[in-house]
Structure 1
Amino acid sequence: MILFKAALATGVLTVGLSASQAAYAAPLSASIQSAATDPRANVKIDSKIQVERTEESASGEITTTLLDPATIKVIPGDKLLFTNAYRNTGGSAVTGFVVNNPVHPAVALTEVLEDWALVSVDGGKSFGKLSDLSVSETASESAPTSRPAQASDVTHIRWVLASPIAPGASGELQFRGIVR
């Protein structure tokens, strides 16, 4: 299984982020074999982050705008939309395609737009549906407890594409978060 990681650069979404620093907010690094040995290498992913701002006009109309973080100051409480756009640039269908996306510690996950995505709350060691996961807490030194996992506990998101990606086919995988 080949895993792709779309990770934020360390410290990118901190208070006072400059426009030049924000330009590096959504790099994608892929660890894959060559296309000659694995057709999954022909699937290219472009990752981007957009800041979602909602404003009310003087007439009371609510508008939501998606902004490039390189053009604004990203602050705690900002809503973010993360998009991983993929496209098969090869000549054959790709099966067994998996995308792993770490959630930066400065971001609290609020929603994964594909209900079939799996999540991890333990640093990517195990994955499942959020409703099936729990998080260990230490109430006291002698009495560890656990509670149901919440979206803000998610450390990684995994999409396992069940259908082959045909040559030239493309799609998007998205999730939302809030800057902590």
Structure 2
Amino acid sequence: MKPCQTLVVAAALSNGAIAAPILPGLKSAFDSTMGMLTSVAAPFLPPPSNDEILNAQMGWRSDTGVVSNFLSNAERMSPEQLSSEASIALDAELDELTHKKVLDRKFTQGFGQDQTVLQANNVLEGQQTFQFVVDGLKDFKENGQTMAPQDVSRKIRAINTDRCGQVLPSIDKYMTAAAGVLQQPEVPKAYRPTNC
């Protein structure tokens, strides 16, 4: 097949033309190639501005404070309060992902990749440590009213073991990278719960 014929057939196949049954493998090869090209090109966004980096850094830090406050006080809360406050902490934990995405655009894409942030991202996402915290907070939100005090304590310890040992230090690596770009004299750190 000549190159110009290939383009015509590929264009026709991408629109679901009748030629697909005649050349069954060609359409699937074309679709899979286009899918790869789309998936490679789709996630790239321009790097954030310094203002966006600062807002993401401070917003993420603030959200860690909300979650840390909940984890510091959860064992002393009434069952009703536990569920209600867990909902607020879960919202903050999920909002952290919004800020992370902004910083990921700066430090995990293209030519501006930061190896320390890539390692931190692997801990947070690749090793599912961030998801472990989300799942724990969601459990408190949905089941906190019926949890026995010893179950609350056990779950808080499990979340804090993961969060204090892996999640918060990884967030600090993002904070440090952002501080370098922003030329901040002091690097903000993620807030820790008192029972870390």
Same fold by TM-score, threshold 0.5 exceeded? Answer: no
TM-score, structure 2 as length reference:
0.27
Structure number with the higher strand fraction is 1
TM-score, structure 1 as length reference:
0.28
Structure number with the higher helix fraction is 2
